[in-house]
Amino acid sequence: MGAPRGAIPNELERHYVRRAVVHSIVPLAVLEAVRNLDTPVEDGLSEFAAELLSKRLGLSSTVATQLAQYETMVRRDARTDPAHVEALLRLVGRRPDADLVFADAGRRAARWAVRTLSGLSRLGARAAPRVLGYAAARRAARAVFEGELRREGYVPVVRIRHTLAINATPDGSACTLYSAGFAELLRLLLGFEGAMLHTSCRATGGDHCEWRAAPPDPRHH
């Protein structure tokens, strides 16, 4: 299936995606989410035939090896080839539970991002979330997700201009990773309990992907 109108990047953006690097936290979080969702509940592994378990991507030896490699890279604050990450997102996008994987991966990536902040930054975020917490969230959004976090009328807004998610999933399903990731960053560093609404998407013709913070629905309280 071809990309929807507006989802095909121009030549400058194509050049960016080829030459840019992606933080190793992103593929690590995706693989952790895949492993989590592919692991049978409780301790019933013995009830599954070996051939059935081998078909679960998250439980494969390949994923275990890649997880170890990316964990090492994250400890070194290293980046990775976007082509590898794009292929991983494309593979996940074919799963029937892709939305669950991407949402879980986004939250995991945000938690990893916060974990890699300095102790002083985390302490400052707890002491002054509106100022220091926002500054820390802005740094983490840029470093891990390549997102630009800003405030517009006191409302947190994040934009990304790279095309990684749309190249991997032209329907925009991989954008769920960023929606969940940005919301989790704001929750952890600013105490925000709402959602990040995907108000503009390349998959539907937008010039960029954008998320805006929305307060929690009062009907859920």
Contact by Cβ (8 Å): 156, 212: yes
Any idea what DSSP says for residue 110? H
pTM of the model: 0.82
- 6: pLDDT confidence band, cut at 50, 70 and 90? very low
User: In the predicted model, what is the mean pLDDT of residues 111-140?
Assistant: 92
Instruction: List CB contacts of 155: < 8 A, sequence separation 6 or more.
Output: 212, 213
Question: Which amino acid is residue 146, in one-letter code?
Answer: E
**pLDDT value at residue 20:** 55
Question: Which amino acid is residue 71, in one-letter code?
Answer: E
pLDDT digits (tens, 9 = 90+) for 67-95: 999 999 999 999 999 999 999 999 999 99
Enclosing H/E stretch for 12: helix 11-19
C-alpha–C-alpha distance, residues 96 and 86, integer Å: 18
Contact by Cβ (8 Å): 124, 132: yes
Place of tokens 């992103």: 26
C-alpha–C-alpha distance, residues 158 and 179, integer Å: 10
Q: What is the CATH number of domain 11-220?
A: 3.90.1520
Torsion region of 191: left, alpha or beta (phi above 0 gives left; psi -120 to 50 gives alpha): left
Among 216, 160, 221, CA closest to 186: 216
C-alpha–C-alpha distance, residues 70 and 27, integer Å: 7
**pLDDT value at residue 216:** 72
pLDDT digits (tens, 9 = 90+) for 127-183: 998 899 999 999 999 999 999 999 998 899 999 989 999 999 999 999 999 999 999
Instruction: List CB contacts of 80: < 8 A, sequence separation 6 or more.
Output: 21, 22, 23, 24, 27, 70, 73
**pLDDT value at residue 14:** 45
Strand partners, 156: 151
**pLDDT value at residue 62:** 84
**pLDDT value at residue 9:** 42
- 12: pLDDT confidence band, cut at 50, 70 and 90? very low
- DSSP per-residue codes, 94-120: TSTTHHHHHHHHHHHHHHHHHHTS-HH
Residue ranges of the domains in the chain? 11-220
Any idea what DSSP says for residue 104? H
- 51: pLDDT confidence band, cut at 50, 70 and 90? very low
Rounded to 5°, the CA angle 100-66-102 comes to 15
C-alpha–C-alpha distance, residues 150 and 137, integer Å: 10
